[in-house]
Structure 1
Amino acid sequence: MSSIFTLCVVRDEDKILVQKREKTPFKGYWNAPGGKVEGQETPIEACLREVFEETGLQLNEVRFRGVMTVSSLSRQQNTQLLMLFDSNNYNGELMPSSEGEVDWIEIDKIYNSKIIPASTTYLLPYIMESEGIITGKLVYNRELLEVCDISLQV
């Protein structure tokens, strides 16, 4: 099974696209769309596929923003890679998905929200306000973010 995942911040002016997670991790939380890189897919292909499957939007352009390692102190699992992308160029209309409800949320509301994963609130300014490549690590302990170490390579 793949240990590579994507996360794509899709922007529309002062809003970003979010999806309410129906399964773990982050069940019940709203997060940017993304998911597993499947066999014979590049991370960009997976990003495009996941955004379309989860939201109905077709991305015309996607920009690679960086990579984070994700690990857990409380569970024995392999370290996962989270490939970060963003886009503001898309076609289509939001469509219901079996993956979870989708909607646009104002960026200002994200930072005070208790229903957005902490990792997203830390990563979002780097993805939206910088031009470099993001690297770092996210370490969880029983679903709680223990370590968030982010670097920007310019």
Structure 2
Amino acid sequence: MKKIERVKERRGRMITVAVALIIEEGRILIGKRKDGDLAGKWEFPGGKVEENETPAIALIREVKEELEVEIDYFAFFHESTYEYDFGEVHLQFFKVNTNRTAEKSNVHAEIQWVDLQELQQVDLLPADREVVEKLLEE
């Protein structure tokens, strides 16, 4: 199947994504995408909620798969919906504490710990921008 056909097929679908906001000492973890149309953009760790999976379970699974750390605590923080060319993405953001500091990612080209006040200058995915304002309001 050609890429254009796949995009048309998926258009109109909504994907739910669980997103981890991992904050340590005033800095938040972000990862640089290495593949796809949005390669080079920065994002928060997380991923798609699979069929028969809750956002909380997806969050725990994705953080472990991507960062090789365990979640000690998480709390729902914010949700939003963003429309991309391929369809809508419903994001559920969770504030997360982990058992140790993440030092690498299995899915990103690189990761960085960024000062919360500097997040507005980062080339984040469009869907992640709204939550930055919420974080800075706290």
TM-score normalised per structure 1: 0.68
Match of 2:10 in 1: none
Cα offsets for 1:28-55 (capped at 9, x unmatched): 1221101101122110111111122112
Match of 1:81 in 2: 90
Can you give the 5+ residue segments of structure 2 that lack an aligned partner in the other structure? Answer: 1-12
Question: CA 1:40–1:128 in structure 2 vs 1: closer, same or farther (change >3 Å)?
Answer: farther
* Secondary structure, aligned partner of 1:8: strand
Whole-angstrom CA distance in 1 between matches of 2:14 and 2:32: 23
The number of equivalent residue pairs is 125
Q: Percent identity?
A: 26
Whole-angstrom CA distance in 1 between matches of 2:20 and 2:102: 15
Say whether the 8 Å CA contact 1:56–1:92 is kept in structure 2.
Answer: no
Match of 2:82 in 1: 70
* Secondary structure, aligned partner of 1:61: strand
Confirm or deny that 1:124 pairs with 2:132.
yes
TM-score normalised per structure 2: 0.75
Match of 1:31 in 2: 43
Instruction: Looking at secondary structure, tell me which structure has more helix per residue.
Output: 2
Confirm or deny that 1:110 pairs with 2:122.
no
Confirm or deny that 1:54 pairs with 2:62.
no
RMSD: 2.3
Say whether the 8 Å CA contact 1:17–1:104 is kept in structure 2.
Answer: yes
Confirm or deny that 1:92 pairs with 2:100.
yes
Whole-angstrom CA distance in 1 between matches of 2:16 and 2:50: 8
Whole-angstrom CA distance in 1 between matches of 2:66 and 2:44: 10
Larger RCO of the pair (alpha carbons < 8 Å, separation 6+): 2
Can you give the 5+ residue segments of structure 1 that lack an aligned partner in the other structure? Answer: 131-154
Whole-angstrom CA distance in 1 between matches of 2:36 and 2:82: 15
* Secondary structure, aligned partner of 1:64: strand
